[in-house]
Amino acid sequence: MKIKNILKGLVFATAVSATALSASATFAGTPDNVLVVANRIDDIVSLDPQELFEFAGSDYANNVYDTLVVFDPNDLSKGYQPGLAESWTISDDGKTFTFKMAKGRKFHSGNAVTAHDAAFSLQRAVGMKKTPSFILTQFGFNADNLNATIKATDDDTLVVTTDEKYAPSFVLNCFTAVISSIVDSKVVKSHEVDGDWGNVWLQTNSAGSGAYSLVNWKPNQSYKLKVNGDYWQKKPAMKSVIVRHIAESATQRLLLEKGDIDVARNLTPTDVEGISGNSDIAVDNDLRGRIMYISMNQKDPILSKPKVREALRYLIDYEGMTNSFLKGQYVVHQAFLPLTYMGELKDKPFSLNLAKAKKLLAEAGHADGFDAEIIVRNAQERIQIAQSIQNTFKQAGINISLTQGTGKQILGKYRARDFQIYVGAWGPDYPDPHTNADTFASNPNNTDEAKLTGKLAWRNAWDISDMTARTKAAVQETDNAKRAAMYIDIQKEHQMTSPFVEMFQKNEQTGRRANVKGFVTGSAVTQVFYWTVTK
């Protein structure tokens, strides 16, 4: 008897709490002036714009900080536009850039944005020597010369002197990158400890002039921004922005369907398909910078034969992959510059063609194929790509053994030139074509001792003195149209002869509530913009 009473009590208690809950949980939808984004943000290790270099962190910095020159989110193809600098002039020798700062711009603290802040920020980027610092040090700035090469001559004038003559578009494109963000020097200096340029403080705080300022950052959980009502470009419609770390695509989808978030940034193709019939939700496609490729070590006697390299280009089922497991995630792209970059090349000359490949192999003296090893990181999409390639190569008699490993193991072999075929991905570091040209199409010294591990051409032991010279010429060309044409020429040759087979470019699918407008993810060249969003 009593047992029954206890059980009855439990059932009753459960029923009561369920009723109470259903009453409290009816409140759905996000407020009209708050943007709630679900994203994977566990890659944020620092909020210091002169240190951070990962996706989620760059998204943050793009909204909290301004740069001297900026992208227009409404038309990214216009390239760099006046930002905190209203104009600039370049000396006749092409080495000295003089920026005129725009008047009346203010930091979140209320301090005026001056040329001194700009100089401090760029010097800081060079002096702190964090990972992305190479984007600026490639112009010859270093810890010893930074006071001479980057200086404010008065409150409104910043003078920057490079070591050589570079294409102005190259320098200015680099000044749109996150590393070139302008920080509030008075605030940051006041938090300096032991000559750390205020790094420790800025890792968890903000001191910018962007559309938003930081309210708080809870690692692996969320960050929250509040609006800068005096933003110089436009008064943003969203009073605050909350970016929540939601690792699971299925969870992001549920939240989006319920209207508890406005934007879901990491939906899998399955979940995108699942929401396709929902009229409250829209899905945007945007090309990003990541390129998927395979590359062949030129130390290998077989893989270094031009006909073999060409044959392999016809042994990859590009369309088959983008129509199946890469659907929605990647598009076929066969050049080293991502589409939306200056100098993009849209030609796609290769597709799966077994007969042609066999003919080329026979001409190279390998009519019966050969054995080779592909090394690949244990990430799902890369393994699937490697398996597809293994499958199509086999049809031409090429027997592939797949070796999987962690990033450290596989990358270690690649950097040590100890491999045959590598399945890789490359994302541009800054919004200028040189970022990829310098690694895919430049190899100043092919010896093992040179250890140019940062250059993909070197890792593949591809000796190209002519192309290296042309890449160097392109980065010094002052005429933007000519410069773009030079990159197209280089890519056309690269596409045909290099040991790289560029296959795919990343496509990002973003799910959003249909009432959310103006969410720009930044294509391949830049990051997300929150200040353009309306509901």
Residues that bind other proteins (CB under 8 A): 1-3, 6-7, 10, 17-18, 20-22, 24-28, 30-31, 34, 36, 42, 45-46, 53-54, 129-131, 133-134, 200, 203-204, 215-216, 218-222, 224, 242, 244-248, 250-251, 254-255, 257-258, 260, 405-409, 411, 429, 451, 453-454
| Residue 338 DSSP symbol | P
CB of 152 to other proteins, least distance (A): 27
CB of 470 to other proteins, least distance (A): 24
In the bound state with other proteins, the residue whose beta carbon lies nearer, of 21 and 416, is: 21
CB of 438 to other proteins, least distance (A): 12
In the bound state with other proteins, the residue whose beta carbon lies nearer, of 2 and 78, is: 2
In the bound state with other proteins, the residue whose beta carbon lies nearer, of 42 and 93, is: 42
In the bound state with other proteins, the residue whose beta carbon lies nearer, of 115 and 242, is: 242
CB of 47 to other proteins, least distance (A): 8
In the bound state with other proteins, the residue whose beta carbon lies nearer, of 1 and 148, is: 1
CB of 259 to other proteins, least distance (A): 10
CB of 207 to other proteins, least distance (A): 16
Q: Is residue 347 within 8 Å of residue 493, measured between CB atoms?
A: no
C-alpha 358/C-alpha 62 separation (Å) is 49
CB of 255 to other proteins, least distance (A): 5
In the bound state with other proteins, the residue whose beta carbon lies nearer, of 93 and 134, is: 134
In the bound state with other proteins, the residue whose beta carbon lies nearer, of 285 and 453, is: 453
In the bound state with other proteins, the residue whose beta carbon lies nearer, of 349 and 454, is: 454
129: CB partners within 8 A, 6+ apart = 143
Q: Is residue 173 within 8 Å of residue 193, measured between CB atoms?
A: no
Q: Is residue 38 within 8 Å of residue 265, measured between CB atoms?
A: yes
DSSP notation for 90-117: E-TTS-EEEEEEPTT-B-TTSPBP-HHH
**Cα distances (Å, whole numbers) of residue 349 to 334, 340, 346, 352:** 8, 19, 10, 10
If one counts every other C-beta atom within 10 angstroms of the C-beta of residue 169, the result is 21
CB of 496 to other proteins, least distance (A): 28
Phi, psi (degrees; rounded to nearest 5) at 367: -55, -30
CA atoms within 13 A on the CB side of 458: 19
Torsion of CA 414, 419, 423, 429, to 10 degrees: 20
Looking at beta carbons, which pairs linking 458-465 to residues 24 or more positions away fall under 8 Å?
Answer: 459/295, 459/414, 459/415, 459/417, 460/295, 460/296, 460/297, 460/298, 460/417, 460/422, 460/499, 460/500, 461/297, 461/298, 461/299, 461/417, 462/298, 462/498, 462/499, 463/298
CB of 419 to other proteins, least distance (A): 16
Q: Is residue 279 within 8 Å of residue 315, measured between CB atoms?
A: no
CB of 24 to other proteins, least distance (A): 4
CB of 413 to other proteins, least distance (A): 12
Cα–Cα nearest to 235, from 32, 531, 521? 531
In the bound state with other proteins, the residue whose beta carbon lies nearer, of 1 and 481, is: 1
Structure-token pair, residue 415: 């950097």
In the bound state with other proteins, the residue whose beta carbon lies nearer, of 222 and 297, is: 222
Task: Give the SS3 label for residue 248.
Answer: coil
| Residue 388 DSSP symbol | H
State the DSSP H helix or E strand holding residue 506, giving kind and residue range, or none if neither. Answer: strand 500-513
In the bound state with other proteins, the residue whose beta carbon lies nearer, of 435 and 526, is: 435
End-to-end CA separation in angstroms for the chain: 59
In the bound state with other proteins, the residue whose beta carbon lies nearer, of 24 and 279, is: 24
CB of 405 to other proteins, least distance (A): 8
CB of 219 to other proteins, least distance (A): 4
State the DSSP H helix or E strand holding residue 354, giving kind and residue range, or none if neither. Answer: helix 354-363
In the bound state with other proteins, the residue whose beta carbon lies nearer, of 394 and 451, is: 451
How far is C-alpha 503 from the chain's CA centre?
Answer: 18
